[in-house]
Amino acid sequence: MTLKKVIFAGILTISLCGSAVFAGAAQTGQAQTLEKKYIVIFKNEANLPSGYKKLVEDAGGKISSTLEHVGAVEVTSANPEFLTEVKKSSQIAEAGIQNKLYPETPAVEAELTLQEAETAQADLYETLQWDIKQVTDNGASWKLPGGTGKAAVGEDIVVGVIDTGIDYTHPDLKENYAYGKSFVPGLTDPKDENGHGTHVAGSIAAKGRTMGVGPDLKVAAYRVFGPTGGAETAHIAEALMAAADDNVDVVNMSLGGYDWYQNPEFATKDIVADVQLFNRAIKYAIQKGVTVVGSAGNNAVDISSPGKLSGDDNGSTHRSPSSQSMIRVSAGGKLKNLAFYSNYGVGKIDVIAPGGDLGPNYNPSTGAGRDNTYLCLATVPGGYGYKAGTSMAAPKAAALAGVIIAKHGKDQLSPAQVKHIVQSSSIDLFKNGYDGEAGHGLINAVNALK
C-alpha cells in the first residue's frame, strides 16, 4: 500500500490535528442515497448574482445554505446530471461535490482530573507546563506590555477557536471565555463534548492552575465538530467568515487535510469547488484583518512536494488549508526537536511551536520509552489532559499573535504585519536561517514583544 493510500481515503479528509499518526481517514464523498450535497461557487467573490436561486433550481438543485460573502451556495440535489447542468451557466466559477470532514483520534493523550489536580503540591503551570514556559521564557513575557494579552487601551483581544467547542465552565477558562457559536447542525450549544477545543483554548488563554500563552486574552468558540463525526467544508467556511464578521483578532484552526487531485473515485473538476471555497473563506477573513493560524498536520511527511506526497498514485496531493497568508505551524518537543509525528516542508512551514512528544527515549515503532511529561498539559472538560500534536502547537502561535496585537492595539496591525513579527522574532533552530522543519524558527513571546 502506498503512503498516499494510507493517509487518504477520500478527496479531502480534514481532521483535528492532534491525531493518530498515519491513522486511516474515514471515507468522504460516498453518499449512499440519491440526494447528494454540492458546493456551487460563482465568479463574483463578493456576493451572489441575481437569479442565483433559479439557476440552481433549473439544474435540479435546492439551496440549503448561502455563503454570500464568498459568492457560494451549498446545494442538495437528486439529479445525477446536476453538475453538468449548473456548469452551463457563465456565472459559475466552479461546482463540485461537497466533502464531509472527519476528526481523527488524538495521537497521544492522558488525563489529569480536577480532583487529582487539587492534590498537587504546586501549581500545575509551574510543575507540568514546559510548553508554555518555553514560549514565554518562564513567564517573562507576561511582564512586558501586551504580554498577557491585555491591550493598553483596555479592549479585549479575542482569539476565535474553530474546533469542537470550548468548556466554558472550566475554572481556568470561564473568566476569559468571550462567547460561543455553534455551526453543527442540530446543536446550538458551543460547549465542548470532545476535549480537543478546550485543550486548544487552554493553551491560548487559561488562567488558573494551568496557564495559556496569553492569560488575559479572550477566546471565542466557533464550534464546527460535534462529540463524534465530522463537519462539511461549508460549515467550517461559515464559521471562519462569522469570526471575521465578529471582528475577532486571531483565528486558530487546529484542523487540516489533504487535497488529492486525480483521485480515481472523483473527477478532478469535481474537487476544485470544495477547495476553492476554503481558500475564499480564508482570504475573506484575512482581508477583514484576522490573523489566521493553522496546524501543519501529524503524518510525519514532507508536504512540500505534491507529487511525492501522492506516492505511487497519479496526480498531486496538497496540504489544506495551506494559504501562504496564514501562519502555518509545525510541532516541536520539550528538547526543541521536531516532534516525531509533525509534518514539515520547505515553503509550507512558517514557524515551529511546542506541540509535545513522548520524550527522547520513546520508540515510535515499539511504543517503548514513553514519558507523558513531554506531552502538553492543558484544560479539558472536567479537568486537565495531556495531548500531543500540531493541534497543540498552532494555538501557541495564535496566542502569540494575540499578545502582539495587544501590545500594538486592536486593529492597528495587518495580518501580514503580525505574521512578520511572529516570524522575525522566532529563535533559529536546525539549519541556519529558514528550513522546512522549523520554518523561521521557534516562536518566542519575549522577542516578539521587545
Nearest to 250 by CA among 289, 281, 284, 277: 289
How many angstroms separate the CA atoms of 392 and 408, rounded? 26
Query: Region 272-293: what's the mean pLDDT?
Result: 91
Strands 376-380 and 158-163: unpaired
253: its cell numbers = 484552526
* pLDDT for residue 11 is more than 90: no
The pLDDT-based confidence of 152 (bands split at 50, 70, 90) is: confident
Using left for φ > 0, alpha for ψ between -120 and 50, and beta otherwise, residue 411 falls in left
Within its chain, how far is the Cα of 381 from the centroid? 20
Residues 279-298 have a mean pLDDT of: 94
Chain segment 211-229, per-residue pLDDT in tens: 999 999 999 999 999 887 7
Q: Judge whether residue 67 has pLDDT over 70.
A: yes
- Is residue 26 predicted with pLDDT exceeding 50? no
What pLDDT, on the 0 to 100 scale, is given for residue 175? 96
Please state the φ and ψ torsions of residue 376, each to the nearest 5 degrees: -100, 120
Mean pLDDT of the chain: 85
More confident residue, 429 or 27: 429
Does the pLDDT at position 25 exceed 80?
no
Looking at residue 31, what is its pLDDT?
40
Q: pLDDT band at 101, cuts 50/70/90?
A: low
Q: What is the mean pLDDT of residues 296-315?
A: 74
- Render pLDDT for 408-440 as a digit per residue (tens, 0 to 9): 999 999 999 999 999 999 999 999 999 999 999
Q: What is the mean pLDDT of residues 222-242?
A: 89
**Cβ atoms within 10 Å of 118's Cβ, excluding its own:** 8
Mean pLDDT of 50-57: 93
Residue 68's CB is within 10 A of a number of other CB atoms, namely 12
pLDDT confidence of 28, banded at 50, 70, 90? very low
**φ, ψ for residue 135 (rounded to 5)?**
-75, -40
By mean pLDDT, which of 83-92, 121-130, 145-154, 422-431 is the weakest? 121-130
Q: Can you tell me the distance from the alpha carbon of 236 to that of 253, in angstroms, rounded to the nearest whole number?
A: 10
Residue 208 or residue 105, greater confidence:
208
Residue range 255-262: average pLDDT?
A: 63
Q: Which amino acid is at 177?
A: Y
Q: What does the alpha-carbon distance between residue 106 and residue 16 come to, in Å, rounded to a whole number?
A: 8
Q: Which residue has the higher pLDDT, 93 or 106?
A: 93
Q: What is the DSSP letter of 172?
A: T
Query: Predicted confidence band at 304 (pLDDT cuts at 50, 70, 90)?
Result: confident
Distances (CA, A) of 256 to 37, 87, 139, 208, 351: 21, 28, 30, 30, 17
pLDDT for 271 equals: 60
Q: Residue 336, class by beta-carbon neighbours within 10 Å (0-12 exposed, 13-18 middle, 19+ buried)?
A: middle
Could you tell me the pLDDT band of residue 231, with boundaries at 50, 70 and 90? confident
Please report which confidence band the pLDDT of residue 180 belongs to, taking 50, 70 and 90 as the band edges. Answer: very high
The model's confidence at residue 106, banded by pLDDT at 50, 70 and 90, is: low
pTM, 2 dp: 0.86
**79 versus 25: which is more confidently predicted?**
79
Is 278 within 8 Å of 313 (Cβ atoms)? no
